[in-house]
Amino acid sequence: MDDSERHDEERLEIGRELPLVPLRDVVLLPGAVVPLLVGRERSVHSLELAAEADKLLVVTVQTQPDISDPKARDLRDIGTVARIHQMLRLPDGTTKILVEGLHRVRITAFIEATDHLSAEIELFEAEAAADPTELEALLRQSLELFGQYASAHQRLPEEVSNSVNQIGDGLRRADAIGAWMVLPAEEKQELLEQVDPLRRLRRLVQLLHREVEILRVEERIEDEMKDSVERGHKEAYLNERLRAIRKELGYGDDDDDEVEEYLHKIENTEMSEEAREVAHKEISRLAKMAPMSPESTVTRHYLDILCGMPWQKRSEDQLDTRRAKKHLDQDHHGLEKAKERILEFLSVVKLSGNVQGSILCLAGPPGVGKTSLGRSIADAMGRNFVRVSLGGIRDEAEIRGHRRTYIGSRPGRVLEGIRRAGTRNCVFLLDEIDKLGSDFRGDPSSALLEVLDPEQNKAYSDHFLEVPFDLSEVFFICTANDIHQIPPALEDRMEILRLPGYLEHEKVAIARDFLLPRLRESHGLARARFTISEAAISDAISLYTREAGVRGLERQLATICRKIARRKAERRPIPKIVQRTNLHKFLGPPQFLRRMVDREPEIGVVTGLAWTSTGGEILEIEVAIFAGTGKLQITGNLRKVMEESAQTALSYTRATVPKVAAKMKKQDIHIHVPEGAVPKDGPSAGIAMAVALTSMFTGRPVRRDVAMTGEITLRGKVLPIGGLPEKAVAAQRAGCVKILIPEENDKDYRELPKDVQQGLQWHLVRRMDEVLDLALLPEKHAASTAADAPRSGESPGAAAH
C-alpha cells in the first residue's frame, strides 16, 4: 500500500460521510480506473461537493438500472470509495469523470439531501487467508488464466496483461483482473461483496475458466466460418456465426418447419425422378445454410419455382369441333382459313390424343386479330392461355433463363409462362416473334429453336431450372407481322397461316357485330338508344383510318362513344343515329382522302402494288423523259433492290423496243415513285416500271384501273412475289378492276378468301408481252392522251401525272 492510499484509509473513519453517486449498471472494483458519464442532477451535485472537498466519493450500483431517481432501498449496501482524477462538463449538460476505485466499503446509512445523496460508510477489515498456500495457488492460477483471456479477447489492449503483472499486491492484482474482465454487473458485484480472499479468488478463477472456454469456442467457430463465408458479406457472416453458436450450445434449428414444408410439397408434386433428386439435394443444402444468407434466399426461390411447375397437371381438352367452330365464329369475323386449320388440329387431337408438332404462326398486319385468335383457340379447346411478348428481346437469357449464380436470377419466359398457366398442356402464344433482336448477349431466336422443335422440347432444360421439363403437350402459337424477319431455321419449324387485311365490308361487319357492342358496354351506353349507320362506319374506315386491321377503327368508334357518353352525363340530347352527314361533328375533319385510282388512262403512269407491315398499298409509278444524254434518274426514296429493278426494266425496254433505242440516247429518263418520305424497296415493282417506260416511249396510255405486281428479268420473264393477300386487298380498296400477278403465284391466289378473288379480274402472266397487252391501250387511243405526255426537248417541269 503506497503512502497516499494509507493516508486515505486513515481518513476513512467509521461513520465518515461522503457524497454518493448511484450507478445504473457499472460496478467499480478497487484498483480500477474507469470513465463515467453522470447526467442526473443529484449525482452532478454530489460530484461538485466531492470536488470541492477531497475529491473522494462513494459509488454503488442500483438494484434496477431503469430507475431514474433511486432511493435508499434501490441501492446496494456494498460499494466502493473512489477518487476523482478528472472532471469535465459537456455541452449537453452531462459530466464526464475519470475515477479510481480505492476500497470496498459497507454503507451503513443513506442520507438523502435536497439536491444530492450521501452515505455513511465503514471499511471492510482485510481478513487473513485461512490457507496461504491455496491463496498463492489461486493467485498464480488467476494470473495465468487472465493471460490466456487477454490474448484471446479481441477488445483488450495487448499491454493489459503486462500492467496487471506489475501490481505487487496479490489481492489488488485479483481486483484488477476482475475489473478488466467483460462480465455482467451482477457477477462483478459478487466479486466486490466477497470479503473472504479465498472465496473471492475461487469465484474469480471460476469465472476466468468459463470466459476462456467461451473465447476458445468462439475462436474455433471463427476459424470454421472464415473458410465458408465470402469476404465482405457481413450480414451472412453474422448469421452463420449465430447458427454455429446455437449448434455448439445444442439449441434446435428454427427452420425445421420450413424444410418439412418443402419435403411435403415435393411429395405432393408429381415431378420427375431427376427433378425430385435435385429438389432433395437443394433441401439438404438449405438445412445447413443460415436462414438470412443470400444463398438460402436463392435456394428457397429455386425450390418454390421447382415445386410450382405443373409437372403432371393438365386441363381436360374439349375437342367438340362443332362447339369450337361456333366459339371461333362468335369471337372473330372471317379468317376462314385459320379457323379451318384450327378445327383440323382439334380433329387430329381427338383421334390421336397427341399434339406433338403443332406449332402455328399467325402472320399478318397489325390489328387483324392474331393475338385475340390465339386466346379464342385456348377457350375453344378448354385450355389455359398464356401470352409472352417477344418484341425487343435481345438477351438469350430471357428465353433460357438466368443461371442461379446471378443475384435475382429467374427462369426464362417460356417456363415462367408455363408455371403461370398452371398446366403443362396450355396454349402458349409467342407474340411478335419477328421482333426478336440479337446482340453480344446472344441470339434469342436460336434459343427458341429448342422450344419449338418437337424432337427436342420433350426434355427442355432451362438455365435456371437445370432439370428437363416436357413441353411436347404445349400448343405453341406464334404471331408475326413480317415473316421475312423470322430466321429461316425458326420459320422451318412452324406452319404459317396468313391473315390478310380486312376488306371494307368486313371491317363494317366487325364494327357492327363486335366492336360497337363492346364499346357501348365499356362506355356505359348499353341502354342508350343510339347507333352508327353502316355508311358512317364506312366513312370512318376510309377517311379516318389507314390500316389493314381494325385497331384504328376501334379508336375512332371509341371517340364517338366518349362524346355521346359526355352528352348523356350532362343530360343533353344524344343523336339516335350517327350518320355520314354528321360524322365530322364527332371525329373532326377527315384525316385521309380516299386514295382511289384515276379512271382516265395516262401515258407513263402505272398503278403498282406494295406490301407494308400494316398491309398493302398502291404505288403510282411515274416516268418522264426530256432532252438529255440518256441518263436515268430515280427518285422517291427507293432502296438498292428497287433501283436495280428500275435499271432492269429500262434495259428490257431498250432491248425490246428497238425503234426507240436510238431516241433514248438523246433523252434523260426520270422515274419517280410517290410518296418521297416513305422508303421503298423490293423487286415486285419491276413489271410496273417496265410498263411505264414502254408507255412513255411508245405513247400508248396505261389503263389506270389495272394494278400489277411482279419481278422482271432482262429476258422479259415475270417472277413470283410475296405479300399477295395484302396487295390484293389494297388493289380492291383503291377501286382497281384488274390485277396482274405472276403465274407462279397461282398457289397463293387459290388460298385467297373468296371475297378477294371475286372482287377483281385476275390475270396470271408469265412474260412481259402479256403484261403489255393487258395494261396498255392500243395505239389508236394514244392521240387523245398525247398532250399529257412530256416530249423530247420539253422542259423538265413538264412531267406527266
CATH code for position 647? 3.30.230.10
Which H or E element spans position 697? helix 686-698
Most confident of 61-70, 242-251, 677-686, 761-770: 761-770
Asked which of 103, 123, 143 is the last residue of a domain, the reply is 123
Give the tens place of pLDDT for each residue, 248-261. 655 455 556 777 88
Report, as an integer, the average pLDDT of 520-526: 86
Residues 453 and 543 in one domain: no
The pLDDT of residue 614 is 64
The pLDDT of residue 439 is 66
Residue whose grid cell is 478488466: 180
Q: CA dihedral defined by 307, 309, 315, 319, rounded to 10 degrees? A: -160
Where b means 16+ CB within 10 Å and e means fewer, 329-347 reads eebbbbbebbbeebbebbe
Report, as an integer, the average pLDDT of 87-94: 87
Q: With 50 as the cut, is the pLDDT of residue 795 above it?
A: no
Q: With 60 as the cut, is the pLDDT of residue 357 above it?
A: no
List the CATH number of the domain containing 54.
2.30.130.40
How far apart (Å, rounded) are the C-alpha atoms in residues 503 and 335? 12
Residues 485 and 531 in one domain: no
Residues 425 and 569 in one domain: no
The pLDDT of residue 712 is 94
Compute the mean pLDDT over every residue in the chain, rounded to the nearest whole number: 82
C-alpha cell at 302: 429455386
The pLDDT of residue 798 is 26
Question: Is there a domain that residue 161 lies in?
Answer: yes
Sort residue 243 into left (φ over 0), alpha (ψ -120 to 50) or beta. alpha
Q: Do residues 182 and 153 lie in contact, with contact meaning Cβ atoms separated by under 8 Å?
A: yes
Active-site residues, by number, are 684, 727
Q: With 60 as the cut, is the pLDDT of residue 786 above it?
A: no
pLDDT-derived band at 713, boundaries 50, 70, 90: very high
Report, as an integer, the average pLDDT of 719-734: 87
Give the tens place of pLDDT for each residue, 27-54. 888 888 889 988 888 888 888 888 888 8
* Greater pLDDT, 677 or 646: 646
C-alpha cell at 171: 489481492
Residues 423 and 544 in one domain: no
Q: With 50 as the cut, is the pLDDT of residue 546 above it?
A: yes
Name which of 27-41, 522-536, 709-723, 781-795 the model is least confident about.
781-795
Sort residue 761 into left (φ over 0), alpha (ψ -120 to 50) or beta. beta
State the DSSP code for 502: P
The pLDDT of residue 800 is 25
How far apart (Å, rounded) are the C-alpha atoms in residues 40 and 76? 18
List the CATH number of the domain containing 576.
1.10.8.60
Residues 62 and 105 in one domain: yes
Question: Is there a domain that residue 793 lies in?
Answer: no
pLDDT-derived band at 792, boundaries 50, 70, 90: very low
Residues 343 and 484 in one domain: yes
State how beta strands 95-112 and 468-469 pair.
unpaired
pLDDT-derived band at 799, boundaries 50, 70, 90: very low
Question: Is there a domain that residue 19 lies in?
Answer: yes
Which H or E element spans position 731? helix 724-733
The pLDDT of residue 715 is 92
Nearest to 499 by CA among 340, 320, 368, 649: 368
Question: Is there a domain that residue 287 lies in?
Answer: yes
The pLDDT of residue 776 is 92
How far apart (Å, rounded) are the C-alpha atoms in residues 783 and 701? 9
Q: With 60 as the cut, is the pLDDT of residue 672 above it?
A: yes
How far apart (Å, rounded) are the C-alpha atoms in residues 357 and 457? 10
The pLDDT of residue 721 is 92
Residue 572 CB coordination number (10 Å):
9
Residues 283 and 217 in one domain: no
Asked which of 457, 477, 498 is the last residue of a domain, the reply is 498
Question: Is there a domain that residue 740 lies in?
Answer: yes
The Cα diameter of the chain in Å comes to 148
Asked which of 467, 498, 529 is the last residue of a domain, the reply is 498
- The pTM assigned to this predicted structure is 0.57
Asked if omega into 211 is within 30° of 0 (cis), the reply is no
Residues 716 and 648 in one domain: yes
Question: Is there a domain that residue 598 lies in?
Answer: no
The pLDDT of residue 248 is 64
The pLDDT of residue 504 is 76
Query: Rounded to the nearest 10 degrees, what angle do helices 321-331 and 336-352 cross at?
Result: 150
Question: Is there a domain that residue 258 lies in?
Answer: yes
The pLDDT of residue 39 is 87
Q: With 90 as the cut, is the pLDDT of residue 741 above it?
A: yes
Residue 163 CB coordination number (10 Å):
11
C-alpha cell at 229: 463465408
Name which of 151-160, 238-247, 363-372, 420-429 the model is least confident about.
238-247
Question: Is there a domain that residue 797 lies in?
Answer: no
Residues 140 and 252 in one domain: no
Residues 613 and 750 in one domain: yes
Residues 553 and 576 in one domain: yes
Residues 299 and 328 in one domain: no
Residue 202 CB coordination number (10 Å):
16
What is the extent of the structural domain holding 52?
3-123
> What phi, psi does 608 have (nearest 5°)?
-100, 175
How far apart (Å, rounded) are the C-alpha atoms in residues 350 and 321? 9
pLDDT-derived band at 3, boundaries 50, 70, 90: very low
Which residues are CB-neighbours of 577 under 8 A, at least 6 positions away?
530, 531, 532, 533
Q: With 90 as the cut, is the pLDDT of residue 624 above it?
A: yes
Residue 370 CB coordination number (10 Å):
26
Q: How many domains does the chain have?
A: 6
